[in-house]
Structure 1
C-alpha cells in the first residue's frame, strides 16, 4: 500500500476519532460506529497508531467488547440504529425514486436483522476500566 493511501487512512482515522469523541458529548453523533471506523483506518494506516488507539480507555470502554465478543449493550445498539434510521430517512423522504426507497427500506430491514440476530446483547460492557 502506498504512503499516500496510508496517510489518508490515518487522516480519516483521526477525523472519525474526533467525531466519535464528540459523540460522547453530543447525543446526535453515534460514538461506537465512528470509533469502529477510526480503528479500521488505524489498522490500515499505521501499526503504531493502531496499538496506541487500542491501548486507550476510549477503545476499551466502547469497542473492545464488540470486537472480541461481537456484543453490545442495548443502549449502544439503539443509539446506532436510531441514528442510522434518521440518516436513512432523509434521502428516503427527499427523493422521489421508488427504486431508491425500496433499496433504503431493504437496508433498514437488513440493519435491524443484523443487530438483533448477529450481535449479542449484553446488560453492560464486560470490560472493566
Structure 2
C-alpha cells in the first residue's frame, strides 16, 4: 500500500522526530493490545501518519503487519473503526481530560481541553463503525 506523501520531509531532524514519535506510538499501540485502558488504534494511526512522512519502509511494515496492519488499513480504506476501539478511545480521552482539568486551574486551558475533547469525540462517533463477523 503506497502513499504519495511517503518521504515528504527532507529535513533530517524532522524526519527523525517523526520516526521517534511513530516508533513510540507503535509501542503504545502494542501495549494497548494487552491493557484495555490504552487505545490501540489511535496510536497505530498516529504511527502510520508519522511513518508515511518519514519512512516508506516503516510505513509499509506497519500497514503490512499481520496483526497491526488490519487495524490501520481498515481505517485508511474507509471500513471504519471497531466499536471497542471507539469506546476505549473516547473513554480514555475523557478520563485523561477530566484529570487534566482537575489538575490545571486555568479556566481558558480547561475550556480548550473540553472543546478539543468534544470535537474529537464527535469526529470518532461520526466515523463508520466496523462490524467484524463472528
Q: TM-score, normalised by structure 1?
A: 0.85
Give the aligned partner of residue 6 of structure 2: none
Q: 1:105 to 1:7 in 2, by over 3 A?
A: closer
Q: Distance in 1 between matches of 2:79 and 2:118?
A: 20
Per-residue CA deviations over 1:5-33 (Å, capped at 9, x if unaligned) read 21222222111111111111112221111
The unaligned stretches of length 5 or more in structure 2 are 1-9
For residues 1-129 of structure 1, what are the structure 2 equivalents within 5 Å? Answer: 1-69=10-78, 71-117=80-126, 119-124=127-132
In structure 1, how many angstroms separate the alpha carbons of the residues matched to 2:107 and 2:20?
A: 37
- Runs of at least 4 residues of structure 1 off by over 4 A? none
- Of Structure 1 and Structure 2, which has the larger fraction of its residues in helix? 1
Cα shift readout 1:73-94 (whole Å, capped 9, x = no counterpart)? 2111001001111111112111
User: In structure 1, what is the Cα distance between the partners aligned to 2:117 and 2:13?
Assistant: 35
TM-superposed CA distance for 1:59, in Å, is 3.2
**SS in structure 1 of the partner of residue 81 of structure 2:** strand
- The CA deviation at 1:70 is 5.4
Question: TM-score w.r.t. structure 2 length?
Answer: 0.82
1:35-84 CA distances to partner (integer Å, 9 max, x unpaired)?
Answer: 11111111111112211221102333312111111511211100100111
Q: What is the root-mean-square deviation of aligned Cα atoms in Å? A: 1.7
Count of matched residue positions in the alignment of Structure 1 and Structure 2: 124
